[in-house]
Amino acid sequence: MLALPFPAIDPALFTLDLGVVQFSLRWYALAYIAGLGLGWWIVAQAMRRPALWPAATPPMRPAQAEDLLTWMALGVILGGRLGFVLFYQPGYYAAHPVEALMVWRGGMSFHGGFLGVVVAVILWSRRNAAPLLSVADAVALATPSGLLLGRLANFINGELWGRVSDVPWAMVFPGAGDMPRHPSQLYEAALEGLLLLAVLAHLALRSGWLKRPGAITGAFLLGYGLSRAFVEGFRQADAQFVTPDNPHGQVLRLGSGPEAFGLTMGQSLSLPMAFAGLALTLWALRAGRRASAR
């Protein structure tokens, strides 16, 4: 099978030998830092455009975006790790609870990080007496930029690769055997990151959806949920869910055997997000129309 060579990119941007220990700045960590920083910038810029918001009143001052960023960073890290432990390897970490705290060994869940951010936004909004849905809209507008950088970092790390494929752009990933695979990290970067960012920016800047609290948040949930569920069809399932009669790692299955219809863990977590996003979007748009008619 023909395959593109995997680019030889060092997962570490640089490494410093300090004698006793070595310090490496990895692309993955840099993606988290850059994603949060870019998200802060997007939120702060949106706050500087009052005309985008209901009654020309942004939900926070631009300076408050930095404080919100701190809460979100904690939500991403704590929620992402807890989500990985509970959604993907609960049995292992029940037997090795101390290792659940070892974040540096890897293992983060987007859906857990998302729930962590939800909690952080709710707490921050209450603490600062800010309108919750408008704050959530600002965060949703900024989130795809972080997803884009994170998925690119996954690709550089050579992790979360796709299923075996014979498409012309398939790649042989280090540590994934000698068969070419879908570069599913790039699919996610394009859909969950670049495309979703463009759509939300258009809705916010051109269609006035920030004036309808909850609409941008709903559009994000819908767009991410559908994008992730689609890409799961090309992404290699987590090893703990794969068995000889379940090669695609489906956690919700109808029927038996390799061809049984079912959903992967990513799909079972993403599709409810999409349905919730659709409901929130429709509610926000109807509420906005009713408010305009008064």
Which pTM was predicted? 0.90
pLDDT of residue 68: 94
Q: What is the 3-state secondary structure (H, E, C) of the chain?
A: CCCECCCCCCCEEEEEECCCCEEEEEHHHHHHHHHHHHHHHHHHHHHCCHHHCHHHCCCCCCCHHHHHHHHHHHHHHHHHHHHHHHHCCHHHHHHCHHHHHCHHHCCCCHHHHHHHHHHHHHHHHHHCCCCHHHHHHHHHHHHHHHHHHHHHHHHHHCCCCECECCCCCCECCCCCCCCCECCHHHHHHHHHHHHHHHHHHHHHHCCCHHHCCCHHHHHHHHHHHHHHHHHCCCECCCHHHCECCECCCEEEEECCCCCCEEEEHHHHHHHHHHHHHHHHHHHHHHHHHHHHHC
pLDDT of residue 294: 66
pLDDT of residue 1: 57
Torsion of CA 185, 34, 204, 43, to 10 degrees: 150
pLDDT of residue 272: 95
Mean of all residue pLDDT scores within the chain: 90
Contact present, 38 and 65 (Cβ < 8 Å):
no
pLDDT of residue 9: 82
pLDDT of residue 14: 76
Contact present, 215 and 208 (Cβ < 8 Å):
no
What proportion of the chain, given as a percentage, has pLDDT over 90? 58
Domain ranges of the chain: 24-240+260-293
pLDDT of residue 248: 85
Q: Which residues of the chain have pLDDT under 50?
A: none
pLDDT of residue 179: 92
